[in-house]
Amino acid sequence: MLFIADSEHDESPYNSSVTLFAIRPDGTEINSYSLRGFTREPTGLAYNPINGLLYITDDDADKVFWVDPANPSVKLGEFSVRSLGITDAEDLKIDPVTGNIYMLDGVSSTLFELSPTGALVRSFGLPSAITDAEGLAYDAQHDVFFIASGATRGAIFEIDGDGNLLATNTILNSYLNPNGNSKPKIKGLELALSSDPNDGNRLSLYAADYGQDQQNDGRVFEIDLGSDWFVA
């Protein structure tokens, strides 16, 4: 199951309280939820395999919340990251080995590593090619981060654990949005099992495309990373 946050669904023309969607990897909808009881700007999501909780960032309040993914409308806890110098808390991911939290700050183009309780472990600047970083995925086996942003359209950047740029993938720029014939605006990333039931434990990279502002044209792309990417 994949979760998608929509921080603008409560704005015109939709004016909806629904800001979180659950879908299957093949794109079929499972459920939808309102997070407005604790956030109006959910921008990043991360599942913690250690404690089974779903973590959510708010880039207006610069906070991290956590919920039970079976009942995500109810906040279980929170901490602020503003005192760490984070002023644009974007996507986050959990290291399945340490439980530490990786988080993007879009304004400063910085990747932060936090302890499970929100203390600063380290931070480093992103390569200059990455601007207004918003989407993040992490693979602990390769120690590789995938980073994307609406500002860099369909480009997805791979960096290592020291912040060095390894590769840039622009394949999604070939899939123009029929609404305006524009390139995708990638706002979220996630590594998850392939939607192909015959792929065994292979991972795919899923990318959420924002589309045009306030238009019902968002998309989710699944990218085949090859046989080297799998769940151990």
CATH number at residue 87: 2.120.10.30
Mean pLDDT across 163-189: 93
Does position 105 have pLDDT exceeding 70, yes or no? yes
Give residue 85's domain range: 2-224
With bands split at pLDDT 50, 70 and 90, how would you rate the model's confidence at 10?
Answer: low
User: What's the pTM value of the predicted model, to 2 decimals?
Assistant: 0.94
Residues 89 and 165: their CA atoms lie apart, in Å, by 22
Is residue 75 assigned to a domain? yes
Residue located via tokens 């992103």: 126
User: Would you give the end-to-end CA distance of the chain in angstroms?
Assistant: 18
Does any domain span residue 29? yes
What's the average model confidence in pLDDT over 159-165? 95
Does some domain include residue 13?
yes
pLDDT at 232 over 80: no
Reported confidence tier of residue 150, pLDDT bands at 50, 70, 90: confident
Examine the pLDDT at 157 and tell me if it is beyond 80.
yes
Confidence of residue 9 (pLDDT cuts 50, 70, 90): low
Residues 192/198/200/204 CA torsion (nearest 10 deg): -20
pLDDT single digits (tens) 179-230 = 888 999 999 999 999 999 888 899 999 999 998 877 888 899 999 998 888 8
The answer to whether residue 231 sits within a structural domain is no
The reply to whether 232 falls in a domain is no
Residue 81 pLDDT class (50, 70, 90 cuts): very high
The chain-wide mean pLDDT, for the chain, equals 93
User: What DSSP letter does each residue of 149-192 carry, written as one string?
Assistant: -GGGTT-EEEEETTS-EEEEE-GGGGS-BTTTTB---EEEEEEE
Amino acid 199: pLDDT: 87
Residue 230 lies in a domain: no
Look up residue 104 and give its amino acid. L
81 belongs to a structural domain: yes
Per-residue pLDDT, 228: 87
Q: Provide the domain count of the chain.
A: 1
Task: Tell me what pLDDT residue 215 has.
Answer: 80
Find the mean pLDDT for residues 73-89: 96
Compute the distance between CA of residue 166 and CA of residue 145 in angstroms, rounded to an integer: 10
Q: Which pLDDT does position 67 carry in this prediction?
A: 98
Give the Å distances, CA to CA, from 218 to 96, 210, 224.
29, 5, 20
The two tokens of residue 66 are 């956590």
pLDDT for residue 160: 96
Higher pLDDT, 149 or 8: 149
For the segment 46-50, the average pLDDT, to the nearest whole number, is 96
Place of tokens 């984070």: 86
In the DSSP assignment, the letter for residue 131 is -
Amino acid 230: pLDDT: 84
pLDDT exceeds 70 at position 59: yes
Residue that the structure tokens 């956030």 belong to: 39
Give burial (CB, 10 Å; 0-12/13-18/19+) of 113: middle
pLDDT tens string 131-145: 999 999 999 999 999
